[in-house]
Structure 1
Amino acid sequence: MTQQEALETIVKALDSKRAEDIQVLHVEDLTILGDYFIIANGTSTTNTRTLADEVEYQMTQKGREPGHREGRGNGSNWVVLDYADIIVHIFYKETRDFYQLERLWADGEQVDISQWIKTENGAC
């Protein structure tokens, strides 16, 4: 699986479970943590966990397992899935507003994901 295919799989998995404000930041030149950060939020802690489960399921179907997971317990406000080159951050909305990772990594390049997100009428 190429890096581009992994990004698409993750974004589509998040979108399929109604993640809010999905953003992909290219941070390769800014940190050794990974090449991309994917940031999204759910509407509740249950939705946040569901989003993480769906990403993990879809990536496993494509043969990739996260090297590390954080925040998977009940009531989690922030789940992190580490795929080495892609770090997925899934927040509860208020937690995302508090930490503002997008502001912290504002020097990262915003990736256009519009081709992977369904519009209101269901088309990609």
Structure 2
Amino acid sequence: MKDIDERISVIVKACDDKNGFDIKVLDLKKLTTFTDYFIIVSGNSTTQTKAISDKIEERMNELGYVISSKEGYGEGRWILLDYGNVVVHIFHRDEREFYNLEKLWTDSEELILDEM
């Protein structure tokens, strides 16, 4: 569990460092088998979403965590970073409102970031 906590903390801190906003961590362990957590963050522009993605990758690489898959970076509207048990969704604010992943996963438990 310590490994997961570290990854979540590193990712959330990287998002915050690049002024990502409305950061949410959803616990999906009881709902799906393909991942344990979604981290969802918004940016105001494609430049910002790419900067958030770059910072997450930089920090995770420094700690030896290898990304399994990366999608959407070219357009920067919805970037997905797959770290296995943790999947990061970096949205342009307009895309986040449209797709509303939080509503799709309403049965998930949201982790309180202050407790991490």
Q: Same fold by TM-score, threshold 0.5 exceeded?
A: yes
* 1:49 alignment partner in structure 2: 50
Amino acid at match of 1:112: I
Q: For residues 34 and 43 of structure 2, what CA distance do their matches in structure 1 show? A: 24
TM-score (norm. length: structure 2): 0.95
SS of 1:51 mapped into structure 2: helix
Amino acid at match of 1:21: D
Q: Percent identity?
A: 41
* 1:87 alignment partner in structure 2: 87
Q: For residues 80 and 14 of structure 2, what CA distance do their matches in structure 1 show? A: 15
Alignment of 1:18-57 (within 5 A): 18-57=19-58
SS of 1:40 mapped into structure 2: strand
For residue 39 of structure 1, report the CA deviation from its aligned partner: 0.2
Deviating beyond 2 angstroms after TM superposition, the runs of 4 or more aligned structure 1 residues are none
* 1:8 alignment partner in structure 2: 9
Does the alignment pair 1:113 with 2:107? no
Q: For residues 105 and 52 of structure 1, what CA distance do their matches in structure 2 show? A: 22
For residue 33 of structure 1, report the CA deviation from its aligned partner: 1.9
Q: For residues 76 and 6 of structure 2, what CA distance do their matches in structure 1 show? A: 28
Amino acid at match of 2:44: T
TM-score (norm. length: structure 1): 0.89
For residue 85 of structure 1, report the CA deviation from its aligned partner: 0.1
Q: For residues 53 and 65 of structure 1, what CA distance do their matches in structure 2 show? A: 14
Alignment of 1:68-107 (within 5 A): 68-73=69-74, 75-107=75-107
How many residue pairs get matched?
115
Q: For residues 19 and 76 of structure 2, what CA distance do their matches in structure 1 show? A: 18
For residue 115 of structure 1, report the CA deviation from its aligned partner: 4.9
Amino acid at match of 1:97: E
Does the alignment pair 1:17 with 2:29? no
Amino acid at match of 1:78: W
For residue 23 of structure 1, report the CA deviation from its aligned partner: 0.1
CA RMSD across the alignment: 1.1
Which sections of structure 2, spanning at least 5 residues, go unmatched?
none
